[in-house]
Amino acid sequence: MAEVRNTESEKQLLNHHKEKHFTAGEIVRDIIIGVSDGLTVPFALAAGLSGANASSSIILTAGLAEVAAGAISMGLGGYLAAKSEADHYMRELKREEEEIISVPDTEAAEIAEILSQYGLEPHEYGPVVSALRKKPQAWLEFMMKFELGLEKPSPRRALESAFTIAVAYIIGGLVPLIPYMFISIAKKAVLTSVVVTLVALLFFGYVKGHYTDNKPLRSALQTALIGAIASATAFGIAKAVQA
């Protein structure tokens, strides 16, 4: 009976780990951040300039400038966020190292408490606690993962995040600007831009909902609605200011 309970507890520990981390999760998150802003901000800018009766060439120039600036800004934000996460991990790691040395009995009691939450009895988790106390590195990794829920970040994470977000922003930002590259009359270009961008927002929202375990159709409609509201607001403000 104890062996069965032990097996079930081990499965719970494994499931706990899988819930915290999924394949390419950080990359998907960065793509979502970059594309969502890339589709919305240049779209609203182009719509606003169209409302002010700007020419297609001016709208395209301003839009490309915004995409470049936005990609740099978003990429820098992603870099700083990832760097902050890495710094937070190192601070917690140092704190755990100090506690393992200064108050080992307290830390051992915390291991026992964590294991007991998964159904292990004292005679079952006792050997685990003893084994971890003999291996400081494994002890430290256990505490970081199961007490704090932290995984050691990749040393390249900050640069990868910055690059991914910036590229995703550029890809998303070019979508609403493509019609202005081929249609010289701004009033016609903006209508094409609206159709193209809303289709892109619907598709992106659906994919985003799929990867974030949300309802894809609902996510698609919400994403498209946000983009439509942003562009309509910009267009209306431009018309009001012009009037």
pLDDT tens digit sequence for 53-94: 888 999 999 999 999 999 999 999 999 998 998 888 888 888
Answer yes or no: is 90 within a domain.
yes
User: Residue 100 is which amino acid?
Assistant: I
Answer yes or no: is 123 within a domain.
yes
Can you tell me the distance from the alpha carbon of 5 to that of 120, in angstroms, rounded to the nearest whole number?
Answer: 7
Q: Looking at residue 22, what is its pLDDT? A: 43
Answer yes or no: is 12 within a domain.
no
C-beta of residue 229 within 8 angstroms of C-beta of residue 210 = no
At residue 40, does pLDDT exceed 90?
no
Reported as a pLDDT band with limits 50, 70 and 90, residue 21 is very low
Can you tell me the distance from the alpha carbon of 173 to that of 35, in angstroms, rounded to the nearest whole number?
Answer: 8
Domain coverage including residue 50: 25-242
Can you tell me the distance from the alpha carbon of 169 to that of 37, in angstroms, rounded to the nearest whole number?
Answer: 7
Can you tell me the distance from the alpha carbon of 168 to that of 74, in angstroms, rounded to the nearest whole number?
Answer: 10
Answer yes or no: is 30 within a domain.
yes
Neighbours of 69 (CB within 10 A): 10
Answer yes or no: is 4 within a domain.
no
Answer yes or no: is 121 within a domain.
yes
State what percent of residues in the chain have pLDDT above 90: 21
Can you tell me the distance from the alpha carbon of 8 to that of 118, in angstroms, rounded to the nearest whole number?
Answer: 9
Q: Mean pLDDT across the chain, nearest whole number?
A: 81
Answer yes or no: is 152 within a domain.
yes
**Predicted confidence (pLDDT) per residue in 225-234, tens digit:** 888 887 778 7
Average of per-residue pLDDT across 148-173: 89
Can you tell me the distance from the alpha carbon of 81 to that of 177, in angstroms, rounded to the nearest whole number?
Answer: 29
Answer yes or no: is 14 within a domain.
no
**Predicted confidence (pLDDT) per residue in 170-223, tens digit:** 999 999 999 999 998 888 888 899 899 889 989 888 888 877 766 888 888 888
C-beta of residue 162 within 8 angstroms of C-beta of residue 76 = yes
Annotate 125-177 with DSSP letters as a single string. Answer: HHHHHHHHHT-HHHHHHHIIIIIS---PPPTTHHHHHHHHHHHHHHHHHHGGG
Domain count, the chain: 1
Reported as a pLDDT band with limits 50, 70 and 90, residue 124 is low
At residue 51, does pLDDT exceed 50?
yes
State what percent of residues in the chain have pLDDT above 70: 86
C-beta of residue 224 within 8 angstroms of C-beta of residue 218 = no
